[in-house]
Structure 1
Amino acid sequence: MSTFIKDYIERETISRRNFLFASAAGLTTAAMPGVFGAGMARAATDPALAWSYRDRASAYWNAIVSGGEAFTESIGKTKEDMTSLINEGSSEKSLADIKAFLAKNNGACAIACDANDSPNARPVAEAVQAAGGYVSTIWNKTDDAHPWDFGDNWVSHMTWSDEKPAEETARILFEAMGGKGGVVHLGGIAANNPAIERLNGLKNALKDYPDIELLDAQPADWDTTKAAELMASFLTKYGDKITGVHCANDNIAYGVMEALKAEGIEGMPIVAYDGNPEAVQMVMDGQLLATVFTNPHWGGGVTLALAYHAAIGTFKPSEEPNEHREFYGPTILVTAKDAADFKAKYLDNVPTYDWKDFWGPSNGQIVYK
């Protein structure tokens, strides 16, 4: 018998013995990473991909997920190779789905995630770290939770600096109102960072407009139907006192318009946020004064790209500076004067992105007040 064959048989015998010992002890391959050697290495170089998000009903989230799919295709896979973990606005479901995905794939996962509300980001990161996976998050986390506190497993967090853009839309609204009158604000989910920042932006602008009164500000949970119901209640309560509407996102603006149309009200000044194709067209048509684009296609793609490349070892998150672990995404104010050019550049032909340029379009490190 040749030495090569003898050595091979001995190695296989040892591997088989280790497997039996592990089985007898109730250990899994995740608990004994050295058992299968090359098999485990293959898993590490080909992590399962997932995007955890609310739903795909809105144009915004559809763009986010489309970005994730574009990245997935860029590494030679199909769209179907990216699993959608749809939480339907439930933080509990978000966490449960992520845990199940981690368990199914023995932790060999690269996950992009919006935690749905801020407190959920920490347990998501803890679950991913415990399983040995990798996650990059967007939008929602508490100020005291940071990726660098979780080693390499919480790769990055991206949010958008919404306060200033929301202040800019408010100023556009107030000027259209002639600097006086009453405004109502319809917001997102109360615990969401963007909902808080967009309301703060409105309040900042109000400081320079003493003749404008904030009549009311209530959450509409980013939802068109809830926004229509809330706006109808505002109209019942405040009537003609309302002379302008500040919306936390485009979906909310659509609901506001439905409520106004039902009451036969035309020409009400309205501003929104997200830069969805329908909203941009409404800006062009004069139905909205302004919206703000956050480039969700790029955001969705690069968030998954960061988790994936950390998982396969392209870069080591813990060796990156903090501004690469927590950073702002890009924002573009869209008004009537530039809406057509914006639509042609970003919506009619979606740009092709280099998914390894992780921080190119980003807008600096997150700043805490």
Structure 2
Amino acid sequence: MAAAVAASLALALSGCGPAITTGAEGVDAGTCAPEDIFLVDSGRGLQNEYYVAVEAGAKAFAEEMGMLDQYQWISSDGDSSKQLSQIKAILAKHGHCTVLNIDANESSIVPALVHEVESYGAWLVTQWNKPDGSSPLTSSPHWVAHMSVNGVPQGYETAKALFEEMGGEGSVVVLQGILDNPPAKERFEGFQMALEEYPGIEMIENQTAGWDRTEAQNITETWITAHGDEIGGVWSAGDDMALGAREALLNAGIEAPVTGVDGLSQAQQLVAEGSGSLYVATTQSTGVLQGAYGLAIAYAAATGEVDPASLPPEQREFYLEDLPVVTRENVNTIRDAMDTTFLEFEDPWQYAGDPITD
């Protein structure tokens, strides 16, 4: 099966140029044999269901290639220094045939990650976070690609669903993600766009909870102390934070609607339960896609099946296709966040949408 997938991937990408070379001394870049490759996926931690979905996708790719014993998940636990140290150690051990799919904890560490990867001649795909103005296109061929999801429509549509549930008027509180993370910025931008369309809605609090459920619950409890049932709704940039906020509301006996982003199974289940659950909307999970195809793209570069320097811009820095938000009207038609049965690896860009331009 692995040989068949590798052959079909090579055929699908046969229009690409020859394997790249690197300045790293003694490294045969882009010519790694499958048995020499070590696959790595890294994100904040598997206590968050989104990352469980990411790993499910990554493992699906590794299993398809017959490489499960050459795969490792690494949790940064929200610690950027720890994540960078982990990647350095793995590169030192596995060298230029290391294939990495990394959700950097903060955008600010991406240049250091790229530097380390390039110094070993290894192969990197990043997810979600990178500094404004940085790009695989203007950096190193060893930073093969950057993949994300456009947060603006997500923030906009979930905010509109919340405001409609509130009857178009009332006070809303906002939980943001890590503020230097592009998805946090984009989702809040979408929220602000929707807010302009609803003059009866007032934002009375706005704070980052760092994508963390417990922190979001604590912040919401503080807001409840200050505002009580004046809180008419909670917009959150992520489901994990929204679930923490919901718990605080339930404990206080406040029936205010909540929305999130990320498509966690618990969030989708609550949406399906209806208004009594307080959960109005979320988005569809992209974790499986990011885990599977992030590794697949970096793998294709490591084996020489693609030359990153010859790829078109829309294959090196791109959003995944936009998906409809999850509401009570469509929740029963949405694929489960952990489902990997639909994955096919002949074309790792099959779910790519618009190019990222910043």
- What TM-score do the two structures reach when normalised by structure 1? 0.85
Q: State the 1:227 CA deviation.
A: 0.7
Count of residue pairs brought into register by the alignment = 330
Aligned-residue CA RMSD (Å): 1.8
Q: State the 1:43 CA deviation.
A: 5.7
Change beyond 3 A, Cα 1:348–1:229: closer
- Residue 269 of structure 2 corresponds to residue 278 of structure 1: no
SS at match of 2:101: strand
Match of 1:65 in 2: 55
1:360 corresponds to which letter in structure 2? Answer: Q
Instruction: String of CA shifts for 1:155-183, please: whole Å, max 9, x gaps.
Output: 00011101112111111111111111100
1:122 corresponds to which letter in structure 2? Answer: P
Instruction: String of CA shifts for 1:283-317, please: whole Å, max 9, x gaps.
Output: 00022111011421011110011111100011111
- Which residues of structure 1 form unaligned runs of 5+? 1-29, 35-39
Question: What does residue range 108-187 of structure 1 map to in structure 2 within 5 Å?
Answer: 108-187=97-176
Match of 2:346 in 1: 356
SS at match of 2:110: helix
Cα pair 1:147 1:155 within 8 Å, conserved: yes
Instruction: String of CA shifts for 1:45-89, please: whole Å, max 9, x gaps.
Output: 6321111211111110000011111100111122x4211222111
- Give the distance between the partners of 1:173 and 1:252, measured in 2 at CA: 15
- Residue 290 of structure 2 corresponds to residue 299 of structure 1: yes
Q: State the 1:329 CA deviation.
A: 1.6
Match of 1:221 in 2: 210
Provide runs of 4+ in structure 1 moved above 4 Å: 40-45
- Residue 312 of structure 2 corresponds to residue 324 of structure 1: no
Match of 2:191 in 1: 202
Change beyond 3 A, Cα 1:164–1:32: closer
Cα pair 2:173 2:203 within 8 Å, conserved: yes
Cα pair 2:163 2:169 within 8 Å, conserved: yes
SS at match of 2:96: coil
- Give the distance between the partners of 2:317 and 2:286, measured in 1 at CA: 17
1:300 corresponds to which letter in structure 2? Answer: G
- Give the distance between the partners of 2:27 and 2:71, measured in 1 at CA: 25
1:134 corresponds to which letter in structure 2? Answer: W
- Give the distance between the partners of 2:139 and 2:345, measured in 1 at CA: 24
Q: State the 1:44 CA deviation.
A: 7.6
1:61 corresponds to which letter in structure 2? Answer: Y
Higher RCO (CA-CA < 8 Å; seq separation 6+): 2
Match of 1:81 in 2: 70
Match of 2:254 in 1: 265
Matching residue within 295, 310, 313 for 2:304: 313
Match of 1:336 in 2: 328
Matching residue within 36, 51, 72 for 2:41: 51
How many percent of aligned residue pairs carry the same amino acid? 35
Cα pair 1:129 1:150 within 8 Å, conserved: no
Q: State the 1:120 CA deviation.
A: 1.1
Instruction: String of CA shifts for 1:211-242, please: whole Å, max 9, x gaps.
Output: 21110110111111111100001111122221
- What TM-score do the two structures reach when normalised by structure 2? 0.88
SS at match of 1:137: strand
